[in-house]
Amino acid sequence: MTGKALGNTTAQSLLNIAAGPVCARKEAALEIITKLAPGEGLKMNKMPGHWVLARLGKRVLRPGGMNLTRRMLEALRIQHRDDVVEFAPGMGITARLTLRSKPASYTAVERDQAAAKTVATYLTGERQQCVVGNASDTGLPDQSATVVYGEAMLTMQTEETKRQIVGEAHRLLKIGGRYGIHEMCLMSDNLDEKERRETERALTGVVHHGVRPLAVSEWRSLLESEGFEVRSVAMATMSLLEPGRLIRDEGMLGALRFVWNLLRDSEARRRVLEMRATFRRHRKQLGAVAITGSKR
Ligand SMILES: C[S@@+](CC[C@H](N)C(=O)[O-])C[C@H]1O[C@@H](n2cnc3c(N)ncnc32)[C@H](O)[C@@H]1O
């Protein structure tokens, strides 16, 4: 495996903090939070949109919010005997929900080192790890998982990489294993090519990475063509930055912290308002979808 497993070092640092005097603890905690912030070293005006949001304290970075995440997890039915792989856990919010089901093992594969360190702080069990690596080529053994899922991580990929990642999920799963995705979608199957390209260009322009949502039928076809039988499809509005969704996803305190941070950083505020305006402008075309399937 090319990736690096994280877990004990960060957990140990946090334990050391817990043991020290209050002041030292505060400073060390701040240091760790700063070190763990993804997007470190990038200028705010160039940073991928999800890391702008994460640095402002937003933890839920997927288009359909926690409600659609819960629906995906319900359909995946994770149990004690499951070996779970999560692609791109980000700030580890779904990881924490999954761990409540006490699966036999949990492995996360996250490309961003700082995000991976954050996820590792939640992993205290023996067969739990977060690997810094690429979901298109994880290096994990064939048929080593019974559940694989990933949220808000395929939409940003090219067509070829989407296929590689779905193919990698298929390789990792045992026959009958379950795969779940939660992604942005186009609301119409018949969006003309010009309108589609304009929507992609507008979104890419504000989030500063590729944004290539598919229509629900195209997401389904992608899974089917890579060897999955689709089992469930659920949809939600794409309201990532709307006040109601912000409160539902982050809680009142989390939402207030986000707004407070926004007020103190004019460049971050500009980025967030620009993203929200673009999402609103394209709201008729955009939605969120969670699809689960089983390996044929
Ligand atoms: C929009 S965030 C979503 C994070 C989290 N899944 C969530 O829904 O809150 C995208 C995440 O995908 C990760 N990512 C993107 N491409 C990846 C890849 N090929 N392999 C692993 N992680 C990837 C990024 O580092 C980031 O953590």
pLDDT, tens only, 222-232: 999 999 999 99
Enclosing H/E stretch for 197: helix 193-207
The residue ranking higher by pLDDT, 276 or 16, is 276
Cα(223)–Cα(220) distance, rounded to whole angstroms?
5
Distance 282 CA to ligand 1 centre (A): 23
pLDDT of 2 reads: 42
What distance in angstroms lies between residue 58's CA and the mean position of ligand 1's atoms? Answer: 14
The yes-or-no verdict on residue 34 having pLDDT over 90 is no
CA distance 105 to 128: 6
What does residue 241 show for φ and ψ, rounded to 5 degrees? -110, 15
Residue 217 has pLDDT above 90, yes or no: yes
User: What is the enclosing helix (H) or strand (E) of 4?
Assistant: strand 4-6
pLDDT of residue 22: 34
153 Cβ below 6 A of ligand 1: yes
Query: Which structural domains are found in the chain, ordered by start?
Result: 4-295 (3.40.50.150)
Is the model more confident about 209 or about 36?
A: 209
Across 265-294, average pLDDT: 98
Which residue in 250, 248, 213, 219 sits closest to 233, CA to CA? 219
Query: Pocket of ligand 1, candidates 110, 153, 165: which has the most ligand atoms within 8 Å of its Cβ, to mutate?
Result: 153
Percentage of the chain beyond pLDDT 90 is 86
Question: Mean of the pLDDT values across residues 178-204?
Answer: 96
Paired with 149 in beta bridges are 86, 180
Long-range contacts of the stretch 158-166 (C-beta < 8 A, 24+):
158/210, 158/212, 159/212, 161/136, 162/212, 162/214, 162/222, 163/222, 163/226, 164/136, 164/137, 165/87, 165/135, 165/136, 166/222, 166/223, 166/226, 166/228
Question: What is the pLDDT at residue 5?
Answer: 65
Confidence label for 6 from pLDDT (cuts 50, 70 and 90): low
The average pLDDT across 48-57 equals: 97
- The verdict on the CB of residue 208 being under 6 Å from ligand 1 is no
* pLDDT bracket for residue 12 (50, 70, 90): very low
pTM: 0.90
Taking residues 226-244, report their average pLDDT.
98
Q: Residue 29: what pLDDT?
A: 39
Rounded to the nearest angstrom, the distance between the alpha carbon of 69 and the centre of ligand 1 is: 15
CA distance 141 to 172: 7
Q: pLDDT digits over 102-137, tens only?
A: 999 999 999 999 999 999 999 999 999 999 999 999
Q: Tell me, in angstroms, the distance from the centre of ligand 1 to residue 28's CA.
A: 27
Place 33 in a pLDDT band, splitting at 50, 70 and 90: very low
Distance CA 17, CA 37 (A): 18
> Facing residues of 133 across strands?
none
Q: Which atom of ligand 1 is nearest to the CA of 165?
A: 19
Which pLDDT score, from 0 to 100, does residue 41 have? 87
Q: What is the pLDDT of residue 214?
A: 98
Q: Comparing C-alpha atoms, which of 233, 208, 26, 33 is closest to residue 117?
A: 33
- The pLDDT score that the predictor gives to residue 40 is 84
Quick one: what percent of the chain has pLDDT higher than 70?
88
Nearest ligand 1 atom to the CA of 93 is 9
CA 77 to ligand 1 centroid distance, Å = 22
Tell me if 135 CB under 6 Å of ligand 1. yes
Digit-coded pLDDT (tens) for 60-79? 999 999 999 999 999 999 99
* Summary mean pLDDT of the chain: 90
pLDDT given at position 97: 98
Would you report the helix, strand and coil content of the chain in percent, each value rounded to 5? 45, 20, 30
